[in-house]
Amino acid sequence: MSPTKPSTLTLNAGPLMLAAGLVIAALIMAGAIRDFRLSDRFVEVKGFAEREVLADLAIWPIQYQLAGSSLDEIRESINQADEAIIAFLKLRGFSDAEISRNPPRINDQWLFAAGNQRPANRFSVERGITLRTDRVTATRAALEQAADLIGEGIVLTPGWGQSAQFLFTGLEAIKPDMIAEATADARRAASQFAADSEASIGEIRSARQGFFSINERDPSTPEVKVVRVVTTIEYVLD
C-alpha cells in the first residue's frame, strides 16, 4: 500500500502558526516597550497644605505645695486650698464636671533627717486640682489670672503655667479637605514642571500621603495650632 500523501493544508499549518506566533510576540513586545517608556516618563512632586485651628480641649493641672507639722494640719490645709482653687474656677464659669482632685503626695521630712536637723514642719505635700474642659478661651483667661490664687496664700509649684495643655482633637473632620488641598498643590507643581518640559500631565502613577503634624503656632499662643500635611505624588508625563 502506498503511503498517504499529506494535504496542502497540513503542510502550510506549521509556517502559518509560526508566523502568527511571531506577530503576537511582536505585539506583546511593542506593548511592553510602550509601557516601559511611559513608566520612564514621570515627575514626582510634593503637595503641601496648612491650616490654623483653635484647640478644642484644655487640660490644666493646678499643682500646689504646702507643709505642716501633723497630718491633721495637712488635711485641713489641703481642704482650704482645694476650696480656694475650686471657687476660683467656678467664679470663671467652670462646672464640677470639669474639675477633678488628684491624690496628694505626702513626704515625711523626718524619715532621713537627724534629730537636730529636723525641719519644723514634718510633712510636705504636693496636691493638684485638674481642669479638663472644651472652654479653651476661658481656660486661657484663667491662666492669666492665676496670680489671684497666689494672693490667697496658695503656693503653686514651679512651672505651673507651662503644665497646661491645649489640644486639637478634630483632625479627622479636616483631613479630607486638607488632603484635597495638598493634592491640588502637587498637581500645580507637576503642571508647571510639565509645561517647562513641553509635556503634559497624565494619570497618577503613585501617591503617598505624609503624616499630619499639629504644633503650636508660637509659644505665646499655645491654644492656636498649625496643622500641616505633605503628600508625594508621581504623575505620568505624556
In a domain, 29, yes or no: no
In a domain, 7, yes or no: no
Same domain, 184 and 149: no
In a domain, 116, yes or no: yes
64 and 81 Cβ atoms separated by less than 8 Å: yes
Same domain, 232 and 180: yes
Residue 230 has φ and ψ, to the nearest 5°, of -125, 130
Sequence-separated (6 or more) residues with CB below 8 Å from residue 10: none
Same domain, 133 and 199: no
What is the pLDDT tens value at each position of the chain, 238 positions in all?
Answer: 445 555 544 545 555 555 554 445 444 444 433 444 445 688 888 999 999 999 999 999 999 999 999 999 999 999 999 999 999 999 999 999 999 999 999 998 888 777 677 888 889 999 999 999 999 999 999 999 988 998 888 999 887 767 899 999 999 999 999 999 999 999 998 888 888 888 888 888 888 888 899 999 998 899 999 999 999 998 888 8
Q: Which of 120, 4, 137 is nearest to 68 (CA)?
A: 120
Same domain, 101 and 190: no
The CATH number given to whatever domain includes residue 125 is: 3.30.70.2970
Same domain, 159 and 221: no
In a domain, 3, yes or no: no
- Spatial distance between the Cα atoms of 151 and 158, rounded to a whole number of angstroms: 16
Residue-range definition of the domain harbouring residue 79: 57-167
Same domain, 151 and 220: no
> What cell was used for 39?
513608566
What total number of domains does the chain contain?
2
What pLDDT, on the 0 to 100 scale, is given for residue 30?
A: 45
Same domain, 161 and 61: yes
Predicted TM-score (pTM) of this structure: 0.73
Same domain, 64 and 150: yes
